[in-house]
Amino acid sequence: MRTFDAETTDLVVKTDIPVYSLCEHHLLPFFGTVHLAYRPNEEVVGLSKLTRYVRWQSRQLTMQERLTNDIASGLADELDAATVLVEMDATHLCEAMRGIETESTTTTRATAGEPSEAERDRFQAAINRTEGHQ
């Protein structure tokens, strides 16, 4: 990913990234949104690259829990970021079409690095703001 010199080490937050993937257990889709934040060290990446990265990670058979962790740890490595926070909300067609036959949302979270309490609060506030607009 092409990077740019960071002007600050303040948290970069990107919310409502669409995600589509396939459950490795049932070969059925799951879909939803990813919210992420990272604290850069010396460089930042173009915001569209964050969406592309989520899309790239989701193009394999996986589980939501693993995908959430892969996005967090992968971005931390790719960006040499001090901290990465990821939250994914997804609906699984394996639940909606078979099994309990109920549509619900599953939320998973992953963190790479050690975010401060203020960073966690800022990330949650950004997620809450986007959920209020839906």
Q: Would you call 46 helix, strand, or coil by DSSP?
A: coil
Cβ proximity of 117 and 125 under 8 Å? no
Identify the CA nearest to 37 among candidates 134, 122, 105. Answer: 122
Residues with active-site annotation = 23-26, 64, 92, 94
* Helices assigned H by DSSP within the chain: 47-57, 64-79, 93-97, 117-132
Q: Would you call 97 helix, strand, or coil by DSSP?
A: helix
